[in-house]
Structure 1
Amino acid sequence: MVLEMAILQVIKGEEQNFERDFAIAGQFIQSIPGYAGHSLRKCLEEENKYLLLVDWEKLEDHTVGFRESEVYLEWKKLLHHYYNPFPIVEHYETVLENKKHF
């Protein structure tokens, strides 16, 4: 499993519109083979800062499967105009994981 991570700086005042459009765009990414889930988290300290986490089966599911797909063009059209600056996207693999179960 590979975790894609991006810090999204949304243009101030556009947060509500971004969240609305992101909910729509989430449907696009879910259609890609190798997609395993995602979450969008809003920063508590900066109201226009978000953290996007996407789980992929393998790196190429994101870098090739998604980024070279037709649905990526729709994703881009809906979301890319909200970012300033444009986000840096990084990928991580798990080395150690501990979770508390309730």
Structure 2
Amino acid sequence: MILEHAVLQVDPNRSAEFEEVFDTARAIVAAVPGFIRLQLSQCMEVRGQYLLLVEWENLEAHTVGFRESVGYERWRRLLHHFYDPFPVVEHYESVAEVGSVE
């Protein structure tokens, strides 16, 4: 399993609009083969900052399967104009885990 991580900075005055559009966009990524789970969290200390975590079966599911899909173009049109600056997207592999997963 691969964990995609991106910190998204959105104009705080557009947070509600971003969340509404994201609600539509999440179905796009969820339809990609190799997608496992997505979580979008809003930062409590920094207005307009979000943490996007997406679990993929493997790196290629994201970098090829999603980013080279027609769905990615729609995702880009829906969401990319909200980000300033554009986020750095990084991928992680688990090396340790504690606790229960529900």
With structure 1 as the length reference, what TM-score do the two structures score? 0.96
Superposition deviation, residue 12 in structure 1: 2.7
Q: CA RMSD in A?
A: 1.3
Matched, 1:48 2:43: no
Aligned to 1:38: 38
* Aligned positions of 1:65-76 closer than 5 A: 65-76=65-76
The answer for unaligned runs of 5 or more in structure 1 is none
The answer for unaligned runs of 5 or more in structure 2 is none
Aligned to 1:94: 94
Aligned to 1:81: 81
Aligned to 2:62: 62
Identical-residue share of aligned pairs (%): 49
- Deviations 1:14-49 (Å, cap 9, x if unpaired)? 100000000100000011000001000000001200
Letter matched to residue 98 of structure 2: N
Aligned length: 102
Moved over 6 A (4+): none
